[in-house]
């Protein structure tokens, strides 16, 4: 918009056929040149502002992604903290890990008769459950 106004004023000055050797002509032409310089500087500043705005947008997107990742980590650590503080109550563990969690057979297979999770070998109920899972 500023460029258009300066071009209009320059056109008016050319239409008046101002002479650069007259006092009035020198002043008006110098003012027009100064305005053109100001317009160029403003254009450069506006370009830099646009670049900075783009960088800010990219930074905002990055910060939002990091914030989401941090929230996931905080939630995970909170779940672990709750699990440790719950004295490993089986009902609590069932609530914590829903049906979609895949425990994997290798976890159950890690327990053999000597290293039973309850320390009692085949006589204990949990060991019988483990053997049934491993056999599947």
Statement to judge: residues 75 and 110 lie in one domain: no
Statement to judge: residues 44 and 7 lie in one domain: yes
Statement to judge: residues 93 and 117 lie in one domain: no
Statement to judge: residues 84 and 134 lie in one domain: no
Q: Is the pLDDT of residue 125 over 90?
A: no
Distances (CA, A) of 11 to 8, 21, 26, 41: 5, 19, 16, 21
Statement to judge: residues 62 and 108 lie in one domain: no
Torsion of CA 72, 76, 77, 82, to 10 degrees: 140
**Model pLDDT, residue 69:** 94
**Model pLDDT, residue 109:** 44
Statement to judge: residues 62 and 123 lie in one domain: no
**DSSP 3-state of 1:** coil
23 against 86, higher pLDDT: 23
Statement to judge: residues 33 and 93 lie in one domain: yes
Q: Which domain holds residue 57?
A: 2-101
- Number of domains observed in the structure of the chain: 2
Residue 124 pLDDT class (50, 70, 90 cuts) = very low
Averaged pLDDT score across all residues of the chain: 76
Statement to judge: residues 33 and 76 lie in one domain: yes
């Amino acid at each position: 918009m500023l460029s258009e106004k300066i071009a209009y004023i320059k056109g008016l000055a050319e239409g008046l056929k101002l002479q650069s050797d007259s006092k009035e002509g020198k002043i008006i032409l110098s003012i027009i040149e100064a305005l053109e310089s100001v317009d160029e500087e403003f254009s450069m500043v506006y370009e830099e502002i646009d670049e900075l705005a783009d960088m800010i947008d990219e930074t905002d997107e990055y910060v939002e992604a990091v914030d989401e990742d941090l929230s996931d980590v905080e939630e995970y650590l909170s779940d672990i903290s709750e699990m440790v503080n719950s004295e490993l109550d089986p009902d609590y563990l069932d609530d914590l890990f829903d049906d979609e969690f895949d425990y994997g057979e290798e976890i159950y297979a890690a327990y053999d008769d000597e290293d039973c999770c309850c320390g009692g070998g085949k006589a204990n109920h949990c060991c019988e459950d483990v053997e049934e899972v491993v056999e599947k």
